[in-house]
Amino acid sequence: MKKILVVTALTLAAACGSAMAQQNWPTKPIKIIVPFPPGQASDTIARVVGERMSKSLGQPVIVENITGAGGNIGSDRGAKADPDGYTLTMATAALPISALVYRKLPFNAIKDFAPVTQMTITPLVLIAGPGLPAQSVKELVTLAKKDPGKVTFASSGQGTSHHLSGELFKTLAGLDILHVPYKGSSQAHIDLMSGTVNMMFDNIVPVTPHIKSGKLKALAVTTKTRASTLPDVPTMAESGYPEFEAVAWFGLLAPAATPKPIIDRLNREAVAALTAPDIKERLTGMGATVVAGSPDEFAAFFAREFAKWVPIVKRSKIELD
């Protein structure tokens, strides 16, 4: 009986301690793992929102870039972090795609994470270097068909939404173009400007300054409607490919076993940051549309994204180790 009472007391003490820890959360810095290099849209958005969350939470929100394997190394680290709310992962469209194209992942893209909030949606832009002799999607297709296998398209990594968008373009236009994967977009932009590679689908956020400065040219955006920050750039549908639609999106995830009260607090803080007038204006100015939804809404969106890419992956026959 005494033993039972001791065990019960210890159990209650542990429960009370856990509840107290959740109530006092946060008591130390929070880390957002961005699975891609600095300067990309995921990094920029994480830093903008994280800075505002730091003020309201009273603790630093630090961005850590852990790159490689199309975002999988950083995502794996985030999935296996302690479920205490102090390590978050910046999710992108690459996450459900990775679950489809990689034979073996060290984590489960659905079961190992708890959604916090979907942050933004942004268009992708089909960009080319200034020296490429094509000023439209139609001219690019003509050029690629004239020299099969000679035109190259860059991506931020194997199995990313940039890669899959290029594969979708290949399929819809009937092209023979060569994929050149990079470890992130920054070096790809430099090689596009120099003519080392020819074209790329990339997020509108990091490429808009290069487009407006003339260092890169935009041939089309991948959403059904034109982007407000690049109103003169036609859509892929307007360019002759009505079936083509792809968006970049960003969201916050926590490890799956993170207590619900902490998830709810994180959601409130992230939503407040995203919808603050100055932050929303800044993100909108980058070409992003703020979503700032609930955890359940983000989970439902993730499931739809997963289902969307299934036929594209099958059709492209992409399979990675």
Residues 6+ apart with CB under 8 A from 31: 61, 62, 63, 64, 86, 87, 88
- pLDDT for residue 82: 98
- pLDDT for residue 316: 77
Q: Look at residues 171, 204, 221 and tell me which one is the last residue of a structural domain.
A: 221
Which letter, b or e, does each residue of 157-180 get, where b requires 16 or more Cβ atoms within 10 Å of its Cβ?
bbbbbbbbbbbbbbeebebebebb
Task: Report residue 19's pLDDT band, with 50, 70 and 90 as the boundaries.
Answer: low
Within this chain, do residues 47 and 131 fall inside the same structural domain, yes or no? no
- pLDDT for residue 205: 86
Within this chain, do residues 295 and 211 fall inside the same structural domain, yes or no? no
Three-state secondary structure call for residue 179 = strand
Closest CA to 282 of 51, 115, 31: 51
Closest CA to 87 of 294, 253, 268: 253
Query: Which one-letter amino acid corresponds to residue 76?
Result: D
Give the E-state strand segments of 54-98 in sequence order: 61-65, 87-92
**109-149 tens-digit pLDDT:** 999 999 999 999 989 999 999 999 999 999 999 999 999 99
For residues 166-193, average pLDDT:
93
Backbone angles phi, psi at 118, to 5 degrees: -80, 125
Domain membership flag for residue 230 = no
Structural domain range at position 8: 2-122+248-316
Within this chain, do residues 115 and 147 fall inside the same structural domain, yes or no? no
Here the CATH number for the domain that contains residue 154 is 3.40.190.10
Proportion of the chain above pLDDT 90, given as a percent:
70
- pLDDT for residue 16: 45
Query: Residue 94 and residue 72: Cα distance in Å, rounded?
Result: 9
For residues 100-114, average pLDDT:
93
Within this chain, do residues 167 and 269 fall inside the same structural domain, yes or no? no
Give the strand pairing for 113-128 and 199-203: antiparallel
Within this chain, do residues 257 and 204 fall inside the same structural domain, yes or no? no
Query: Residue 257 and residue 41: Cα distance in Å, rounded?
Result: 28
Within this chain, do residues 292 and 214 fall inside the same structural domain, yes or no? no
Environment class of 155 (CB within 10 Å of its CB; exposed 0-12, middle 13-18, buried 19+):
buried
Within this chain, do residues 145 and 215 fall inside the same structural domain, yes or no? yes
Domain membership flag for residue 236 = no
Residue 199 near residue 127 (C-beta atoms within 8 A)? yes
Query: When comparing pLDDT for 215 and 122, which is higher?
Result: 215
Proportion of the chain above pLDDT 70, given as a percent:
93
For residues 80-86, average pLDDT:
98
For residues 46-53, average pLDDT:
96
**Count of structural domains within the chain:** 2
